[in-house]
Chains A and B, each alone.
Chain A
Amino acid sequence: MRPARSYPKRRDDVRLLVMDPRLPPGRGLLETRTTELATFLAPGDLLVVNDAATLPASLGGTDGEGRAVEARLIAARDDQRFAAVLFGAGDWRQRTEDRPPPPALPVGAALSFGAGGELRARVVAQSPLSPRLVDLEFAAHGDALWAALYAIGRPVQYSYLAHDLPLWAVQTVYAARPWSFEMPSAGRPLSWELLLALRRQGVRWAALTHAAGLSATGDPALDAALPLPERYHIPAATVRAVGEARARGGRVVAVGTTVVRALEGAALTNGGVLRAGAGETDLRITPAFRPRLVDGVLSGVHAATESHFQLLAAFAGPPLLEAAAGHAERAGFLTHELGDSMLVLPGALEASGERTARLVR
């Protein structure tokens, strides 16, 4: 499959591959467009989105000897400290695995970011996973730190893209606190037209905030450990909405991997019960994982080798997912954060009846 190299003309009009795990693989698959999403959801269903805004998390700078360094922020530690993955010279146009490593930067090393070196930081911790994963402590804090991050930072992006991404292009339409270091991109195809139409037909929505980290670093040791533990916040209203949806037989549809991790991770730490509040999860969803709260997932399209794709197996089952991957490959679906979408939802194709029959290609 090819990656989408730029954003679509309309965010809510890309291809959508619907998988219904209740049907046999031969019949449980349908290709349509995201504009038709409402067809597959029913009154009483709950859509849970990640409302984290995307921070411009790539910072270009130099070390104390003037050597080029790029820091890609991956997690917030406190008001002045962030975990970051360091790269050597170059930028997003090169594949991460082809980037030269950063100069040796032990604990105590000084860095400065921005054209005039206006944002200063020092390395305060180094991960045992890789010397490229460090904690940075910035000299600025509060208003000044956020102003500098937004003035200097650029959205994290990868070499398959055709051009620089502006900050607005990596936001969802409901973005609030800038907790994410890459766009929670499963929600990118949701427009307000689509969301308000869903609500008119009795589908509810709820939000949580989950700090999506980086999806690739080019460092094999680090990439094998991704995703690193990520923080989340689940509001009380969302806990109530999930409980109500389940009580009345509605389906809980997670918009993206991050929502699955937050809901299922939070429930696992509380003996299967979802509680409101903040936390951090290191949950990895494998094909063997049995979700307790989430019934379905709206996701981007990912290559079969990626962990995002493997996560869908927990919801779709391997045979249906294999059929979906084959169709997406043949039909030329576009992958990654600006690409097409997939919906895995039990009953999606039963409930939608004749209308979806017309959409089958």
Chain B
Amino acid sequence: MSSLQGKSAVVTGGSRGLGRALGVALARAGARVVLVARQGEPLRAAVAEINAAGGEAHAVVADVADKHAATALAGQAAALVGPVDILINNASTLGPVPLRLLLDTDCEDLERALAVNLVGPFRLTKAIAGSMVLRGAGTVVNVTSDAGREPYPAWGAYGASKAALEQLGRIWAAELDGTGVRILSVDPGEMDTQMHAEAMPEADRTQLADPAQVAAKIVAELGEAN
């Protein structure tokens, strides 16, 4: 039996790309999954696909950048699948595409990238990880990017938000050391997703990883560690 059997997992950005693939892989491993996204229709389609395949998935429509969303989202998730064992902060935004140089980036677009990619994961982790610490077990995964480490021109808002998310993860991990709760940063690399196509429409798709394969690897590692 998979060590993820019966575990409860929340995945943000769950209606497409890596988030949807993580939901499928987690449910296949026996986890009870809550997928979160802003758009109800594609989200419910992702949930229906998992349930049709015999897994358990639930939909929570929410914008992780909404300051009032985190507590409600955490409550709904725990009501649907029980106390959360795995939280995957996967939702992120590039900001407007085509990507612009910093001198041409609107302050509001930088703020939106920080709200979705940094503050949202902070709020949600804060709302969920406390109950993990109390139980002495749980995993939070922050999906990051090499754009958080490499100074790619025109990737300023996204890159700065991901760099901050990685540092936040290191500090979470230091503070929760010894509690049984793990905070991981995962850089999935370049994948064949809608987000990638929007950022780099000229990219050769044959050179990009399949999100399903990336998700399977992440879930396998979560299973080994749980």
Contacts and interface: CB of A to CB of B under 8 A. Distances in A.
Query: Do A and B interact with each other, yes or no?
Result: yes
A192 B133 contact: yes
Contacts of B131: 51, 174-176
Given A174-B131, A175-B131, A176-B131, A167 B72 contact: yes
Question: Range of interface residues on chain B?
Answer: 20 to 34
Given A53-B74, A167-B72, A146 B134 contact: no
Interface stretch (B77-85, B155-163, B185-193): B77-85
B60 interface: yes
A169 to B, nearest CB: 9
Contacts of B133: 174, 192, 195
A174 B134 contact: yes
A171 B123 CA distance: 14
Interface in A224-242: 237
Given A146-B80, A147-B61, A167-B68, A178 B75 contact: yes
Interface in B38-91: 47, 58-61, 68, 70-72, 74-76, 78-80, 82-84
Residue in A143, A167, A173, A192 whose Cβ sees the most chain B Cβ within 10 Å: A143
Given A53-B78, A166-B68, A167-B71, A143 B58 contact: yes
Nearest to B47: A143
A55 interface: yes
Interface of B: 47, 58-61, 68, 70-72, 74-76, 78-80, 82-84, 127, 130-131, 133-135, 179
16 contacts: A51-B134, A55-B75, A143-B76, A146-B76, A147-B76, A150-B75, A167-B75, A168-B71, A168-B127, A171-B127, A175-B74, A175-B131, A177-B78, A177-B82, A196-B179, A205-B134
Interface of A: 49, 51, 53, 55-56, 142-143, 146-147, 150-151, 166-168, 171-178, 192, 195-196, 205, 207, 237
